[in-house]
Amino acid sequence: MSLGSFLRNSIAVAENEFRQFRRNRSAILISLMVLPFFFTASLGAGQGGAGTTFSATANIPIAFVDNDYSVASLRLWQTLTSSPDFRELIQSYNEQAAIAELGTKHIYAVIVVPKGFQNDLENGNRARVVLYTDDSEPGVSDQIQSTLSSYAQNFNPNVEVQAYLTQLQRQSISQVEIIRKGALFAGFNVGLTIVLAVVQIFAAFYEIAGGMSREREEGTYARLLVTPVPIGSIVLGKTIFDILLSTARTFIVLGLAVYGYGAKPNTDILSLLALSLLVALVTMGLGFFASGLKMGQRAVVIVEFFLILFLFAFSGLIIDKELLVGISQVIANILPFTYAFDALRRTILLGVPLLSLTSDLQYMAGSCVLSYAAAFILLLKSRERLIR
C-alpha cells in the first residue's frame, strides 16, 4: 500500500472519529468543557490566581493568652497583630477557657506567653511561647507553627512594633541568615503543571481506550478491524483525531490560566503545546494498549481513575521523585509520566528550553513507541482472530 493511500485511510478514520464526536454531546461536554474548565477553575479557587498572594494563616481565628503581662509579651502581641499573617488574633485572658474552645471551630490555635517570658529574655535565656493547636484540621497546625516560629525567631523585645517579615527574613534564624536563591513560584503556576498533565491524561485515555471499548460494545469494532483499512491507519487516524482535541484542550487550559488567573508560563506557547501533546501521545499509546485488552467502557473509566491515583503517588505529581523511597522510587523511575511531569515543571516554571531536556524527551518518545508497538501487535492479533 502506498503512503498516499495509507494517509488517506488515516484521515478517513480521523474524520469518522470527528463525526462521531460531534454527534455525542456528552463527549464534547466532558472533553472540552468539564475537564479543562473544572480542573483549572478548581485550581484557581484553591490557590488563588498566579498574581494574587494570600497568607494561609491570616483569617484563622487564634487566641492569644498573655500570662506574663510584661512589656516583652505586649510587644510580641503588637508584632503579631500588626502583621498580615495574624489578622484574626483574639486576646484571651483565661488559658484553660481558650484551650477548651479548641476543636469547637471557634478558634483553631491558642498562643500562650508563659510567666517569666520577659525575665528569660532579659537574662539571655531562651524564652518560650506555647502553641496549642486543633490538629484535627490537616495542615493548619503546621502552618500556624511555621508562621509563628518565623516571627518568634526574629522577635526583638526592644523594638515596639516590628514591621512584618519579608519572605527573605522568614528564612533567617537569629544569627545565621539563610539567603534563598532560586525563583519562587505561585501555587497556581505549580498547580498548572499538574492540571495540564492530568487533564491531558484523563481525556486522552478516555477518548482512546473508552472510544475503542464503546465501538466494541456497539459492535462496530469488529467491522472496523476487518475493513481493508490497515491497522496502522486506524491507529494513526484515531491519534490524529485525539491530537487535535488535545491541542484544543491545551489552549483552553492555558487560556483560562493566563487570561483568567494571570498565570505567566516561563516558556513559549509552542514548547508548551509540544510537551502537552507529548504527554497526550504517551497516554494515547497506553490507551491503545488498554483497548487491546478488551475492556468494557466502565472498566476503562475505572482503570483511568486508578491510573491517575497511581500517578499521584508514584510519578512526582504530588511527591517529588527524590522523596520516594525503595520500590516507590524504582516505579517512579520506570514510569514515563515521571519524565513528562519533570519536563513540564522545568519548562513552565524554570523556563528551561524544551530541546535541552533530551533525556526526558527521549524517555517519553521511547515509551510512546513501545506502547504503540504493543498496541499494534494486540490489534493485529485481534484482527487475525476475527478473520479466522
Partner 1 sequence: MKDFIRHTSAITIKELKQLRRDPVSLVLTIMFPILLIGIFIVIASAFSATSHNIPVVVADLDGSPASNALLDKLTSSSLIRVTQLVQTEDQAYQPVSNGQAVGAVIIPQGFGNDLASGHAFIVVQTDNSKFTSSAFIVGTVNQSAQQLLTQVSLGEAGVSFGAKLAPVEVITRPISGRPPSGDTILPGFLGMIAILGAFDDIVNAISRERERGTFPRLALSPVSLFAVYNGKMFATVVLTVLRTALMLVIFTLDGIAIRGNLLLIFLTTILIAVFTLSLGLTISARIRGSATLTVLEIAMTFPLFTLAGTTNSPLLLAPGGRSIADSLPWTYGNDALRRIMYLGAGLNVVGGDLLILFLSSLVLMPVALILSKRTM
- Comparing CB distances to partner 1, the nearer of 62 and 254 is 62
Nearest to 289 by CA among 375, 186, 200: 375
Which of 50, 63, 65, 127 is close enough to bind partner 1 by CB under 8 A?
127
- Please state, in angstroms and rounded to a whole number, the distance separating the CA atoms of residues 195 and 39: 6
When asked if residue 374 is in the footprint of partner 1 (CB under 8 A), the reply is no
When asked if residue 301 is in the footprint of partner 1 (CB under 8 A), the reply is yes
Looking at residue 77, its amino acid is: W
Which of 1, 161, 163, 173 is close enough to bind partner 1 by CB under 8 A?
173
When asked if residue 136 is in the footprint of partner 1 (CB under 8 A), the reply is yes
- Please state, in angstroms and rounded to a whole number, the distance separating the CA atoms of residues 34 and 40: 10
Q: How far is the CB of 89 from partner 1 (least distance, A)?
A: 15
SS3 111: strand
The residue range among 198-206, 237-245, 267-275, 375-383 that interacts with partner 1, by the rule CB under 8 A, is 198-206
Looking at residue 367, its amino acid is: S
Nearest to 121 by CA among 59, 187, 68: 68
Which of 160, 177, 218, 268 is close enough to bind partner 1 by CB under 8 A?
177
Q: Please, which of residues 69-98 interact with partner 1 by CB under 8 A?
A: 76
The b/e string for 234-264 (b: 16+ C-beta within 10 A; e otherwise) is bbbbbbbbbbebbeebbebbbebbeeebbbe
By rule CB under 8 A, what string of x and - marks binding of each residue 153-172 to partner 1? Answer: x-xxx-------------xx
Nearest to 62 by CA among 113, 96, 98: 98
- Comparing CB distances to partner 1, the nearer of 11 and 313 is 313
* Pairing state between β 89-92 and 109-113: unpaired
Which of 16, 185, 244, 274 is close enough to bind partner 1 by CB under 8 A?
185
Nearest to 62 by CA among 97, 92, 32: 92
- Please state, in angstroms and rounded to a whole number, the distance separating the CA atoms of residues 22 and 208: 16
Q: How far is the CB of 185 from partner 1 (least distance, A)?
A: 6
Q: How far is the CB of 19 from partner 1 (least distance, A)?
A: 19
Residues 6+ positions from 205 with CB-CB distance below 8 Å: 283, 284, 286, 287, 290, 300, 304, 307
- Comparing CB distances to partner 1, the nearer of 47 and 291 is 47
Which of 4, 166, 175, 219 is close enough to bind partner 1 by CB under 8 A?
175
Q: How far is the CB of 196 from partner 1 (least distance, A)?
A: 14
Nearest to 284 by CA among 248, 336, 333: 336
The residue range among 4-12, 47-55, 219-227, 283-291 that interacts with partner 1, by the rule CB under 8 A, is 47-55
Q: How far is the CB of 249 from partner 1 (least distance, A)?
A: 13
Q: Please, which of residues 327-356 interact with partner 1 by CB under 8 A?
A: 328, 342, 345-346, 349-350, 352, 356
